[in-house]
């Protein structure tokens, strides 16, 4: 029972609320692939507000990188598995290079929407951007409204610090 803490419950409540609200907002605006907004939210909520915002920024950068690449690959090579696979290869390399790998999975999913739709029309680009921004905004908003207390994070950090100190003292006695 110790493994199930108030901290875990609060994080899961955040995830459930943000996931649901993302989908509701996406459906309200009649966006295609509205479930993806919830998934983006789910993947973006972090323990701290700062981590959530940093990940959101990296994912937005990744989204525009993904968009540029699919416009090139799909429009010049075609909507086929070869171009999609090549896109994933190049996109993964660039994600590593720019240190934005946290956005790899959700952005490949977004690229998959373009692949399945076989379209990079402006309206669909706006749809996908809206889905993405709703998901990220909801992750940030819920993290700001229902924060996980700093006390919990500090308590965990202090426990870890104490364990490391004990380990270092033990090693120094050897």
CA angle 107, 65, 120 (to 5 degrees): 75
The Cα 105–Cα 109 span in angstroms is 6
Residue 118 contacts by C-beta under 8 Å, 6 or more apart in sequence? 74, 79
- How far is CA 73 from each of CA 78, 79, 89, 113, rounded to the nearest angstrom? 7, 8, 12, 14
Quick: pLDDT tens for 32-91: 999 999 999 989 988 788 888 999 999 999 999 999 999 999 999 999 999 999 999 999
Instruction: Indicate the pTM of the whole model.
Output: 0.79
Contact criterion met (CB below 8 Å) for 132 and 60: yes
Q: Is 118 exposed, middle or buried (0-12, 13-18, 19+ CB in 10 A)?
A: exposed
- Which tokens belong to 141? 């908003």
Residue 150 contacts by C-beta under 8 Å, 6 or more apart in sequence? none
Quick: pLDDT tens for 108-147: 999 999 999 999 999 999 999 999 999 999 999 988 887 6
């Amino acid at each position: 029972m110790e493994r199930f803490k108030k901290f875990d419950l609060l994080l899961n409540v955040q995830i459930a609320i943000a996931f649901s609200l993302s989908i509701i907002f996406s459906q309200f605006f009649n966006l295609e692939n509205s479930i993806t907004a919830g998934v983006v939210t789910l993947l973006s909520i972090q323990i701290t507000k700062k981590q959530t915002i940093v990940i959101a920024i990296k994912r937005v950068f990744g989204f525009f990188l993904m968009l540029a690449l699919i416009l090139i690959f799909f429009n010049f090579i075609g909507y086929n598995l070869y171009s999609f696979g090549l896109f994933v290869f190049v996109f993964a390399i660039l994600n590593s290079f720019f240190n934005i790998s946290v956005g790899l999975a959700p952005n490949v999913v977004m690229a998959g929407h373009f692949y399945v739709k076989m379209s990079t029309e402006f309206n669909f680009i706006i749809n996908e951007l809206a889905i993405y921004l709703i998901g990220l905004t909801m992750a940030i908003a819920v993290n700001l409204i229902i924060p996980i207390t700093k006390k919990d994070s500090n308590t965990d950090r202090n426990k870890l610090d104490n364990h490391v100190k004990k380990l270092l003292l033990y090693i120094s006695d050897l």
